Amino acid sequence: MPLDATIKNAIYTYCNNHLADESWYEEEFEFIQDEYLRKRLVEEFRATRFAYKIYEGIEAKDENLIFEIRHQILSYATIYEAVLHYVLYNYYETAKQFIELLYHDAPAKISIPSNKLTELNSLLEHNGESIIPYHMQRRKKKDAEVRFDEKCRVAEKLGLIHKFVNEDGEKIDLPSEIIEIFGYRNAIHLVAEQRKNINYELALSKLAYRRMRPFIDQIKDKLKIDKKGIYA
């Protein structure tokens, strides 16, 4: 049953008092010119922060804390992925490093006339099996075949994201950390979790949030330098 209105109002007030207004989030993702995607990113970011405040407010423990951590990692990893995908495919689609990522050499069967094929089959045999002649062909990968870690490394080569030194003088390998966060995101189902012996820690979910700031800032800075999108 629904909570009493007084309790609901108190929860919304508590959470919203710790959230930036919508215009702040809009400015964060201003370089995303696809209005639908930008709206979804804003919604996801705000909802993730709202949920975190609820769990923080009730001082979640045990399985509730694990659920909170998993949700935070999943949400932030999704934002990282969506932003990086959009930027690469829309602003750097002609960059040499990105094109090299999208294409690969794959074996393609050679079409041979049937009379010649019969003759070849009598000659091309190994351990009782026919040898099929082929050549290597340059093919474009499907979007699903391009791994997130590969996109991160290309983004690093392009200067979109990079290592940096934080305010405490710590050296931060941003591309590697984002790849690690996304790796945990891929393990967020019980079978993989058990197989990989993964233990979720609150520190990782907080890291996923804290790295969003340099991630967005670095991408914006590079887009401004390269005069891409709204910064052209």
> What pTM does this model have?
0.81
Beta-carbon contacts of residue 15 (< 8 Å; ≥ 6 apart): 50, 53, 54, 57
**Segment 52-76, tens digit of pLDDT:** 999 899 998 888 888 888 888 889 9
Q: Determine contact, residues 216/81, Cβ cutoff 8 Å.
A: no
At position 167, the amino acid (one-letter code) is E
**Segment 121-172, tens digit of pLDDT:** 666 665 666 666 666 666 777 888 889 999 999 999 999 999 999 999 999 9
Domain spans, the chain = 5-103+143-231
Give the Cα separation of 4 and 24 in Å (integer).
31
**Segment 168-222, tens digit of pLDDT:** 999 999 999 999 888 887 665 544 444 444 455 677 888 899 999 999 999 999 9
